[in-house]
Amino acid sequence: MQLDHVYIKGFRNYKEATVNFNKSTLIIGANDVGKTNLIYALQILMDRGISDYSFELKDSDFYAYEDTKEVVIRAYLTDVVEDCVVARMPGYISNDGEMVLQYKAWYENGKVEYQFYCGKSDCAEDLKECAGPFYRKYLNIKYIGSRRDFWSYINKSKKDLLNQAKLKRSEEEQVADDSLYSDIEEKLQFVDEKIPELSFVKTATDQLNGELRKLSIHNKEQQVLFDTSAMDIEQVISNVSISSKHQDKRLVIGGEGRINQIYLSLWATQNQQTSISNEVSIVCIEEPEAYLHPHQQRELAAYLGQALSGQVILTSHSPFKACMAGGQETGMRNHHSHYFN
C-alpha cells in the first residue's frame, strides 16, 4: 500500500492544496510554513494515537485568511492489496487496489460538526459515511513528533525488546539461559548475604535499630536492615539500564544526538512490518535529524530508509537532507522532496 497524494482544503494555513508522495518522501521548509500541519492532517485521518477530541476542530483550525466554513482532508491510497486491510474493508477498495479516506468538518448552527468517509474513489456515490476512522487499527500512521521524551520511551521499549527476544529463544537457548539463571541467582544470594557484613552498613543498621527500640512498644524483637533485594533476579533484569561501553570500560552515553539515535533505532526495531503483520502503517517522523551533525543526518536518513519497511515520510529543516534527493548514499532512492515557501 502507498499513500499517493493528499488533498487539503480550508485547514489551518492551507487554503487548497494537493501534496504528492513517493514511497520515501522528504518534506523540507522554513518554520511555520505548514509541514507540521500537513502531518497533523494525516494524523486526523489515520493516527490511532490521537484522541477523538482532536476530530472536533477549533476555530483556529479553519483557514484564517478568508471566511472559511469547511475543512476537507482527503487521502488517496494505491496498491491496497494487504490481506489485513482487504479482508476487513470489503466494498471500500476498487478492483485496482485504490481507496480514498476523507475527513470533513463544517460549521452548523454555530457548532463544528465532522464526518469521516471511505470509498473506492472520491466520487460522491463511492464515498460512504463511516462511524469514525474505524480502519485505524489495521491501516494507520505511526508518528514521531519533534518533541521526543527520550528516556521514557527508551525505558519502556527496553522492556518490550527484552520480552520479545525472550519469546523468540530456541530450545537450546532456553536451556542455556536456565542454567545461567540458576548461576546468577546463587551469586546474587551471596551478594545479598555479604553486603550487610560491610562495617559501615552494619554500624548504620545497628544505629537505626537502636533508635527504633527507644520508640517501639511492640515488635521490639524485630529488626530493620538495609536489604539489597538482589535475590529477586527478575527485578534485577527489569532494572538494567542502557549504557555505553568501550572495550571493558563503561561510558556515559553521549549528548542529545546520541540519545536520539538510540531512540530511533529502538523505535525502528519495535515497529518492523512483515508480510504477516496485522496492520499496514505509514511512518511519519518530524525532524529526525535533531541534535545530529550533518554527516550523521545523512547516515540516519539512509538507516531509516533501509530499516523501516513500507512508506516513510520525513519532515526536516536540514538542507543536507535536501541534497540527498538524488538518492546518493541513502536508502531513500525513491525520494521525493517538497519545498514549502
Is 14 inside any structural domain?
yes
Is 221 inside any structural domain?
yes
**100 contacts 120 by C-beta, under 8 angstroms:** yes
Provide the number of structural domains found in the chain: 2
Per-residue pLDDT band for 141 (boundaries 50, 70, 90) equals: very high
Same domain, 211 and 300: no
Is 179 inside any structural domain?
yes
Question: What grid cell was written down for 280?
Answer: 499496514
* Mean pLDDT along residues 173-201: 88
Same domain, 122 and 193: no
Q: Which domain holds residue 173?
A: 169-241
Same domain, 141 and 176: no
- CA 257 to each of CA 2, 150, 184, 260, 324: distance values in angstroms, whole numbers, following the listed order: 31, 11, 35, 5, 20
> 241, 263, 298 — which closes off a domain?
241
Percent of the chain at pLDDT > 70 equals 77
Is 104 inside any structural domain?
yes
Closest CA to 72 of 119, 20, 6: 6
Residue 64 confidence (pLDDT): 82
Range of lowest pLDDT (17-26, 48-57, 75-84, 275-284): 275-284
Per-residue pLDDT band for 129 (boundaries 50, 70, 90) equals: very high
Segment 257-295, tens digit of pLDDT: 777 777 777 777 766 665 567 889 998 888 877 767 777
Is 163 inside any structural domain?
no
Is 250 inside any structural domain?
no
pTM over 0.95: no
Is 219 inside any structural domain?
yes
Same domain, 74 and 188: no
Higher pLDDT, 328 or 181: 181
